[in-house]
Amino acid sequence: MFQDIDSSETNNLNIPKTSTEQSNTKSSDSQRKLSQMKQYNKENAVIIDKKYVLLNVIYQGKTSTIFEAINLQQQQACVVRMTLISKNDNSTKILQYFKTQFENQFEEKYQNGKIVQNPQDCLVRLIDHGIFMNQYNYQVLNKTGPSLKFWFNFWKQRFSFECIILITLKTIDALQLLHSSNFIHANLNMQSLLTSLENQKTLSIGNLQNSILFKPNSKIGQKCQHINKYSSLGQHLGIQVYPKDDLESLLYIVLQLLTDGEFFDSQKQFKTRAEKLQWYFQIKHSFLPEKVLKNYPPCFTDFANKIKFLNPMELPINYDSLKSVFKGFKHLDFDWSNLINGLKKNSGNSSQQVSLQNVEIKSAQISLETINESLNEQVIDLHHRLVKNQKNDGDYCDLNPETQESDGEISFEEESTDKSYVYCFK
């Protein structure tokens, strides 16, 4: 079982201490230096620990920057996420825990010839981590495909029921893995669900920065410090967070997919963020599965009722019971699988192996063009852009910048991004 790491151990491991409290440390100087580092990289490559060459910036937020990179030792493409040390981030500790757990189980069960399920099929994979320039935590992660938020904005028609069911089942599997080790995601949204370009039926969970450690027998309950569109009613009310809250967030994601964004009324305008969150709360509080889902297959109503009437105090949750309502559906697949297959076939090479001969490390050819993404959209493995107007699904409001909902990437702060881009694969 997961054990808390004290401050001395944390320093030795070069990983941030897990906390749900918001840091008040001012970091404008560190942020300015990070910008200077990115500018410097245009002419001189930045190499971390003599192992990772930073290339293009593929995401830039207020507290973190994600680079496309090359692992010099393995000559493979990877992703490096750099975060200011002054910002609390629980993801490294959690991902390292699951990485160690899998390695230990694999070594133990390999001798007995047993098959060990890889938790990395459900979570983004942490390859390496450390501290850079004494001011930034860095994570080296596997490259993934686009998030569910990307596909939701990109797809011109509604997702098929089979696609939504597969999304639901894969997310339940990932949440079960988290909850089995007493972790709660606490900030689940479409940006957190990442697809794959290799194993096309894989759906992994990312954005674990605000995740918390659930202590069932603790007298002091953990409360959520961050609210987004898909937060549970309990999170809105500020009460103790339970594993059920993640499943309730999944339910709201499913409802948003089924109704093509109409569940939260994407055309509604707000003057303040508080007004917006209150609107979300009222929609969730008044939700009646039999009314909202009457024109959809009965399995979705059954699933909604199972989530709605879960007792958060009854642990562990029966995840198989939740998945059983979809047992009548066979041959499940993501709607975008054929598109990915076609693009990969046209490219002629889907391997992540990278030839260093194609990288001019010391030249100015290394591009650091920032890709603006829709509300923390973490599109990691994309190289070509196609401009397309994205549907407004309620995450933006022109009346007041405070209502731009930061329901995805890093921090408690709002991140301004451009929503006029969509991307295609190489």
Q: pLDDT digits over 137-162, tens only?
A: 999 998 888 899 999 999 988 999 99
Extract the tokens encoding 242. 């339970």
Confidence (pLDDT) at 117: 54
| Comma-separated ranges of CATH 1.10.510.10 domains in the chain | 148-326
Q: pLDDT digits over 392-417, tens only?
A: 333 322 322 232 333 333 222 332 23
Confidence (pLDDT) at 342: 83
Q: pLDDT digits over 212-226, tens only?
A: 999 876 655 667 678
Q: What is the mean pLDDT of residues 254-271?
A: 91
Least confident of 99-103, 281-285, 351-355: 351-355
171 close to 193: Cβ distance less than 8 angstroms: yes
* CATH number, domain 148-326, options 1.10.510.10, 1.10.3720.10, 1.10.10.10, 3.30.470.10: 1.10.510.10
CA distance 232 to 378: 23
211 close to 189: Cβ distance less than 8 angstroms: no
Q: Is the pLDDT score of 11 beyond 50? A: no
